[in-house]
Structure 1
Amino acid sequence: MSDDLGLFSDDAGERPYGRRSARHDRQRVRRRRRRRWVTALAGLFVLVLVGGGVVYGASQLLKIGSFEDYEGAGEGSVVIEVKSGDTTSAIGSTMRQQDVVASTKAFTQAAEQSKDIASVQPGFYLMKSRMSGAAAVERILDPSAKVGALEIRGGMRLEDQAAPNGERTPGILSLLAEASCAEIDGQEQCVSSEELHRVAETADLAALGVPEWAIGPASQAEPKRRLEGLLMPGLYDVKPGENAEELLRSVVESSAAQLEVAGLPQAAEGTGFTPYEVLTIASLAQSEGIAKDFEKVTRVVYNRVNEAQMPLQFDSTINYPLDKPTLLTNREDRERPGPYNSYQNQGLPPTPISSASKEAVTAAEKPAEGSWVYFVKCYQDGTSCFSDTMEQHQAAIREARERGAF
């Protein structure tokens, strides 16, 4: 049929006429509107996702370099240990584990501002809980923060000694009691010297860390002298707050390691003496001479005990049970019987008589070559003169007096 009038045309760009075409047009408009809304909502959703990602990413970037940190100087008391070889980060980690600081970074970043942080030495430090990083750095650099430091010097004894002025020179156990003291949570906490003496006299020697080679002879000694000589000279760090047995164990175990470094027990082989006797000889050298004479003094001991079969006649052994620090004795003391009277008894005393240094132990293991059986301090700096005969010895004594050596 011809459609010259265009009544039924539906070409693109032309609007068809009639009720059905109008309805179709409205539906198409609605579909277009729905598509626009869906497209708009999808775009908005994408914008939200992108915006959220940007915000999250920015927040993560801002967190780079951030760290937790407490505020203020902290509260309470915490004892931390700085171990040998600890880095600043390791110290900070220890503090974080014990809640001294909120994070390792809080300490390390504050420490970067201090040129003195490298001066922190191994040992125990009294800190506080919940300190800011800056406060923790300031505190650990304060000399008063370091606690539990014990110094044992060569020639020291367990017991206090009488000083020439009538006062008492603290012995190792008294110094250990002092080192145990710290003000924790506002209260002074110490282990008493009496308690340390009790443990030293009664505790199981193996449990205290005494080397196996020393347990037998030490257990036969007078109780208060069982640990004599087993605590080598050096710096020790003890933890305040520990009990008497824990404190003694920490020192005895550390000393046992030093004795091993000094060669005991292996280096005693071939000397003719047991490791414990070598340590006793070392203590005699430490008490009788100065370091440069140790090898000669120990040779005198070897010669008197093994070759000449002479009593030692060392004044230091006479004064040892009398708790006197001097080398001079009087006739009354020399005539007083006892296991440490080396004028009356043959051989070595039953125990060491003092704390012997590594140098003294080495000298006892390898004494100098010589035939001396006498020596006397003959110079004011403590140097001794060594003799083979009594005539030589008497001449050395006269010369020593002329020099004012004693």
Structure 2
Amino acid sequence: MTTQRSARGRTRRLAVLIASILLIIGLIAWIAIARNNSAADFAGAGNGEEQIVEIPEGSSLSQLGPELEKRGIVATDGAFQTAAANNPDSDSVHPGFYRLQGEMSAESAVAALLDPANKITPLQVYGGATLMDVNVIGGPGRPGIFSMIQEVTCAGSNTANCVDVEKLSKIAADADPASLGVPDWAQQVVAARAGDAKRLEGLIVPGEYIIDPGSSAEEILTDLITKSAKVYNDTGIVDRAKDVGLSPYELLVAASLVEREAPAGEFDKVARVILNRLAAPMRLEFDSTVNYGLPQVEVATTKTDRERVTPWNTYAMDGLPQTPIASPSLEAIEAMEHPADGNWLFFVTINKDGTTVFNDTFEQHLEDTQRAYDSGILDSQR
């Protein structure tokens, strides 16, 4: 009995000893591998081959390490983690897309991600922006949204497959509206204008957008339009349009006129003028709608231009333009949804300071229009 019990005890002790030895050997091997991995590193600031990486919202710098190792930007995640831990500014990284290079030292990769010069500039869509560039007579031109997207995607050295104006225009003209995220209330109108890139005018709300330069033209437009549709829908555009006697798409079109015609602080008054004229009925006769169809624009328009028939010229057609003429801001949308009370049918800006006068009668309007001519604001340079 005693002999058997002693033998079992020796067996257990031997098993424990072997297990302990194996555990120690495994631990030593793991430490060695970890040390080797953390020590492996590229030298220098990269091989010149540009790569775009993203730091998502709410992510930390250290979380990027495994992806950088997989893509050959840094040699090992371990080296990157060490470099991030040794950089006191690593917690201040901002979300967005960054331009790095292949085969960077971990230290240089961390420094590059913290350098604002390597961050891809977000797309800034301003109120009144148009899809295409605008050439202004006697003044600086206005870059279109497509050109601004091209500037983001085609900057840096990796320009072979970047998204340019031509690619964006083709997708805008030909892609299925629903697949691009066009809201339900605009799909039928947009589909009816297949082949014309301007059918997407007004469907990208002004604001700041972070664009992945590696995305396709369709992916970029889908992202912008889908986000914009949510913003417009969140204003209650469907119900509010019914309240003012318009369809949601017509309200979008009218808001684009407000954006291009109204001075700051007068959006709701111009919205009321639009509704009053449509109800009269009277032609809107907005110079901004004349300019939208011209290769070159200015504040004043000529008689010849005002007589030119286009899908937008409200001097030559009844009702609203067939599409928006710009991207309306939320302020313009909300002005159309909540127009001011008034009987105004006319308005004119009478000086270069932006002073705008609203009138009920054509006689009063003529007097104020003459004041505008006298101030020089309506002098054509053509």
Counting only pairs closer than 5 Å after superposition, residues 113-124 of structure 1 correspond to structure 2 as 113-115=87-89, 118=92, 120=94, 122-124=95-97
Q: CA deviation at 1:261?
A: 3.5
Q: CA deviation at 1:198?
A: 1.9
Find the residue that maps to 2:205 and give its secondary structure. Answer: coil
Which ranges of structure 2 fall in alignment gaps of 5 or more residues? 1-12
1:208 aligns with 2:172: no
- The equivalent of 1:391 in structure 2 is 363
Separation of aligned partners in 2, 1:386 and 1:252: 35
Q: Among residues 181, 193, 205, which one is paired with 2:165 in the alignment?
A: 193
Q: Among residues 341, 363, 367, which one is paired with 2:339 in the alignment?
A: 367
Q: CA deviation at 1:311?
A: 0.8
Separation of aligned partners in 2, 1:212 and 1:112: 52
Equivalent pair of 1:265/1:275 in contact (CA under 8 Å): yes
AA partner of residue 205 (structure 1): P
Change (3 A) 1:54 1:174: closer
Separation of aligned partners in 2, 1:62 and 1:404: 81
- The equivalent of 2:289 in structure 1 is 317
Q: Which moved more, 1:258-267 or 1:343-352?
A: 258-267
Q: Among residues 90, 103, 110, which one is paired with 2:84 in the alignment?
A: 110
TM-score for the superposition, normalised by structure 2 = 0.80
Find the residue that maps to 1:253 and give its secondary structure. Answer: helix
1:355 aligns with 2:327: yes
- The equivalent of 2:203 in structure 1 is 230
1:170 aligns with 2:143: yes
Give percent identity, aligned residues only: 37
Counting only pairs closer than 5 Å after superposition, residues 2-401 of structure 1 correspond to structure 2 as 68=38, 70-72=41-43, 73-75=45-47, 76-92=49-65, 95=68, 98-101=71-74, 102-103=76-77, 106-107=80-81, 110=84, 113-115=87-89, 118=92, 120=94, 122-147=95-120, 149-165=122-138, 169-183=142-156, 188-221=160-193, 223-306=196-279, 308-400=280-372
Q: CA deviation at 1:179?
A: 2.2
Q: CA deviation at 1:156?
A: 1.5
Q: CA deviation at 1:108?
A: 7.4
Equivalent pair of 2:60/2:93 in contact (CA under 8 Å): no
Find the residue that maps to 2:98 and give its secondary structure. Answer: strand
Change (3 A) 1:232 1:59: same
Change (3 A) 1:397 1:246: same
Change (3 A) 1:324 1:267: farther
Equivalent pair of 1:293/1:383 in contact (CA under 8 Å): no
> What whole-Å deviation, never above 9, does each CA across 1:90-124 have from its counterpart, x for those lacking one?
4446545655443278347526624375252x332
Find the residue that maps to 1:78 and give its secondary structure. Answer: strand
Change (3 A) 1:325 1:259: farther
Equivalent pair of 1:232/1:355 in contact (CA under 8 Å): yes
Q: Aligned residues, how many?
A: 362
Find the residue that maps to 2:288 and give its secondary structure. Answer: helix
Separation of aligned partners in 2, 1:118 and 1:336: 56
Q: Which moved more, 1:207-216 or 1:70-79?
A: 70-79
Q: CA deviation at 1:46?
A: 11
Change (3 A) 1:323 1:53: same
Separation of aligned partners in 2, 1:235 and 1:401: 38
- The equivalent of 2:5 in structure 1 is none
Q: CA deviation at 1:174?
A: 2.4
Q: CA deviation at 1:344?
A: 2.9
- The equivalent of 1:26 in structure 2 is none
Which ranges of structure 1 fall in alignment gaps of 5 or more residues? 1-42
Separation of aligned partners in 2, 1:345 and 1:187: 44
Change (3 A) 1:53 1:143: closer
Q: CA deviation at 1:363?
A: 0.9
AA partner of residue 349 (structure 1): P
Q: CA deviation at 1:188?
A: 4.5
Change (3 A) 1:46 1:152: closer
Find the residue that maps to 2:347 and give its secondary structure. Answer: strand
AA partner of residue 80 (structure 2): A
Q: CA deviation at 1:330?
A: 1.0
Separation of aligned partners in 2, 1:176 and 1:309: 40
Equivalent pair of 2:34/2:78 in contact (CA under 8 Å): no
Separation of aligned partners in 1, 2:228 and 2:342: 31
Find the residue that maps to 2:190 and give its secondary structure. Answer: helix
AA partner of residue 350 (structure 1): Q
Change (3 A) 1:132 1:254: farther
Q: CA deviation at 1:47?
A: 10
Change (3 A) 1:111 1:189: farther
Q: Which moved more, 1:193-202 or 1:98-107?
A: 98-107
Separation of aligned partners in 2, 1:189 and 1:46: 62
